[in-house]
Structure 1
Amino acid sequence: MSHTEDPRHLARELLGRDFEDLATDEQRVLRRVASGTFTGSDADEAAEAHATRADRLADKVAAIGGSWGFIIGFAVVLLGWMLLNSRVLEVIGLDPFDAYPYIFLNLMLSTLAAVQAPVILMSQNRQAAKDRITARHDYEVNLRTQLEILRLSRKIEHLAQELRSTRG
């Protein structure tokens, strides 16, 4: 068989169906098999190629906000804020800028949570889209592998028949 075959012929020969009856992904794979080309770019590369600056920023915020370093650092900042606004400033003659019950701190924490939650959700949505691309890519690779195995099996059967007919 040549490197450039008709995908319609392959659909009929390997799958026993008309090319037009196949799903779009199956048609794309058959075109690649027929032309002898490999599957396109890696799934991560494909997802990254379509990522906007906002998408990448959301991923970074989610990566930082979901790390132990952020949690520990944030706990240190909160503890420092509370210590500084307790009696420490009064010792040097200054009034605390956010005395207990730390109303300004509560405002800052609420604002951070209100902004951080949707950004993390955007990142999760982007990850879900990456997962869909990966699943589609894996499906295409698996289908291509099955089709190539079928092609090789048919070639071996054909060669075996030729060998038997020349000997017999």
Structure 2
Amino acid sequence: MTATEAQTPECQICGTKQRSELRRAMIVRPAVSKIIQQKSGNWDENGWICMDDLQQYQHLYVQSLLEEEKGELTELDKEVIEGLRKHEILAANPDIDFDKNLTLGQRLADNIASFGGSWKFIIIFGLFIAAWMGINIAAIFAKPFDPYPFILLNLVLSTLAAIQAPVIMMSQNRQEERDRQRAIYDYKVNLKAELEIRQLHQKVDHLLSKQWERLVEIQEIQMELINELREKK
């Protein structure tokens, strides 16, 4: 048992002695250990570290990793790093948050655009035009309200097209904004998953390396014991 192990376990960084919050320093990956050594100047792999300090330095490591690969961090990158530190779930449905902020006019524009781009609208509008023309042609000898060539009908169609076009454009702009929100959510989730997987690989490699070192030490001790037994015989 080393001198460090014989003492009461405490965090090397903040000095906390809550055993439930402490972890062995040997499980910390070398890249994170290097940052701890640079920031605190005191690091012993045989010592202990609390979860709060460990998460803080892991946060600094991820931040430095992204800065090294991408240069200056964006606000999205900072949100992902913060979510990674707090173990937050970033996956969400952006449509729910987006639809909550829609005004009555925006909802009405979306419904009009949805209806105007359906077969139901085409059929109803086709029947309306046919009825309009049929009534005026049938009543040609009784002073129809819109005789051929249907000038009033052309005015109605032009007005409808002039109103419908900006409504559809407003709906399309919101659809583009919704797509951007989805892309942002996808980027944040993918970046967090990539960082989590990278940290997991590094941690597994570090643990395997430490386990191999321990096995080598045990094997050396066993060989020494075997040699002593042979010498005694």
- Is the shorter-chain TM-score for this pair beyond 0.5, marking a shared fold? yes
Does 2:199 match 1:151?
yes
Contact 1:10 1:34 in 2 (8 A): no
Does 2:55 match 1:5?
yes
Deviations 1:18-73 (A, max 9, x none): 9x931111110010011000116312122212222111111111100011111111
Stretches of structure 2 lacking an aligned partner (at least 5 in a row): 1-27, 29-50, 217-233
Paired letter, 1:57:
L
Stretches of structure 1 lacking an aligned partner (at least 5 in a row): none
Partner of 1:114: 162
* TM-score (normalizing by structure 2): 0.64
* TM-score (normalizing by structure 1): 0.87
Distance 1:25 1:159 in 2: 31
Does 2:85 match 1:37?
no
Greater relative contact order (Cα < 8 A, sep 6+): 1
Partner of 2:133: 82
Distance 1:101 1:15 in 2: 69
Highest Rg: 1 or 2?
A: 2
Partner of 1:22: 73
Contact 1:85 1:97 in 2 (8 A): yes
RMSD: 2.2
Distance 1:53 1:126 in 2: 14
Give the count of matched residue pairs. Answer: 163
- Deviating above 3 A after TM superposition, structure 1's stretches of 4 or more consecutive aligned residues are 1-4, 14-18
| Percent of paired sites with the same residue | 39
Paired letter, 1:98:
D
SS at match of 1:21: coil
Does 2:148 match 1:100?
yes
Paired letter, 1:142:
N
